[in-house]
Chains A and B, each alone.
Chain A
Amino acid sequence: MFGVAPQALFGQLLIGLINGSFYALLSLGLAVIFGLLNIINFAHGAQYMMGAFAAWFLLQHAGLGYWWALLIAPVAVGLFGIVLERTMLKRLYHLDHLYGLLLTFGLALIIQGLFRNEFGSSGLPYAIPPQLQGGRNLGFMFLPNYRAWVVVFSIVTCLATWYVIERTKLGSYLRAATENPTLVRAFGINVPRMITLTYGFGVALAALAGVLAAPIYQVSPLMGADLIIVVFAVVVIGGMGSIMGSIVTGFGLGVVEGLTKVFYPEASNTVIFVIMALVLLVRPAGLFGQAH
Chain B
Amino acid sequence: MVSKGMLALATALVLLAGTAHAQISDGMVKIGVLNDQSSLYADLTGQGSVVAARMAVEDSGADKKGLKVEIIFADHQNKADLGSGIARKWYEAENVDVIADVPNSAVALAVNQITRDMKKAFLVSGAASSDLTGKACSPNTIHWTYDTWALANGTANAIVKTGGSTWFFLTADYAFGHALERDVEAVVVANGGKVLGRVRHPLNTADFSSFLLQAQASKAKIIGLANAGGDTTNSIKQAAEFGIVKGGQNLAGLLVFLTDVHGLGLQTAQGLIFTEAFYWDANDKTRAWSKKFAERNRGIHPTMIHAGVYASVLHYLKAVDALKSDDGGKVVEKMKATPTDDPLFGKGTIRPDGRKIHDMYLFEVKKPAESKGPWDYYTLRTTIPAAEAFRPLDKGDCPLIKK
Interface size on B, residues (CB 8 A): 44
Residues in chain B near residue A144, CB distance under 8 A: 241-243
Residues in chain A near residue B200, CB distance under 8 A: 265-266
* Size category, A interface: 35 or more
How many angstroms between the C-alpha atoms of A116 and B204 in the bound complex? Answer: 16
A19→B213 contact, CB < 8 A: no
Which residue of chain B has its CB nearest to the CB of A118?
B298
Residues in chain B near residue A15, CB distance under 8 A: 209-210, 213
**Contact residues of A between 242 and 268, Cβ < 8 Å to B:** 258, 261-262, 265-266, 268
Q: Does B354 contact A (CB under 8 A)?
A: no
Give, as a whole number of angstroms, the nearest-CB distance from A78 to chain B.
Answer: 24
Q: Does B268 contact A (CB under 8 A)?
A: yes
Residues in chain B near residue A227, CB distance under 8 A: 206
How many angstroms between the C-alpha atoms of A127 and B243 in the bound complex? Answer: 14
Contact of A258 among B173, B210, B265 (CB under 8 A): B210
Residues in chain A near residue B268, CB distance under 8 A: 125
Residues in chain A near residue B263, CB distance under 8 A: 120, 122-125, 218, 220
Chain A contact residues: helix, strand, loop or mixed: mixed
Residues in chain A near residue B44, CB distance under 8 A: 122
How many angstroms between the C-alpha atoms of A276 and B264 in the bound complex? Answer: 35
Residues in chain A near residue B265, CB distance under 8 A: 125
How many angstroms between the C-alpha atoms of A223 and B233 in the bound complex? Answer: 13
Which residue of chain A has its CB nearest to the CB of B208?
A261
Residue of B210, B268, B298 with most partner-chain A CB within 10 A: B210
A-B contact pairs, 29 of them (CB 8 A): A5-B217, A12-B213, A19-B207, A19-B209, A116-B38, A120-B298, A121-B39, A122-B229, A122-B262, A125-B237, A127-B267, A134-B243, A142-B242, A142-B243, A147-B209, A147-B241, A216-B207, A217-B207, A218-B237, A218-B263, A222-B38, A222-B39, A223-B206, A226-B204, A261-B199, A265-B210, A266-B173, A268-B202, A270-B202
Interface residues of A (CB under 8 A from B): 5, 8, 11-12, 15-16, 18-19, 116, 120-125, 127-128, 134-135, 141-142, 144, 146-147, 216-218, 220, 222-223, 226-227, 258, 261-262, 265-266, 268-270
Interface residues of B (CB under 8 A from A): 38-44, 46, 173, 199-202, 204-207, 209-211, 213-214, 216-217, 229-230, 233-234, 237-238, 241-243, 247, 259-260, 262-265, 267-268, 298, 300
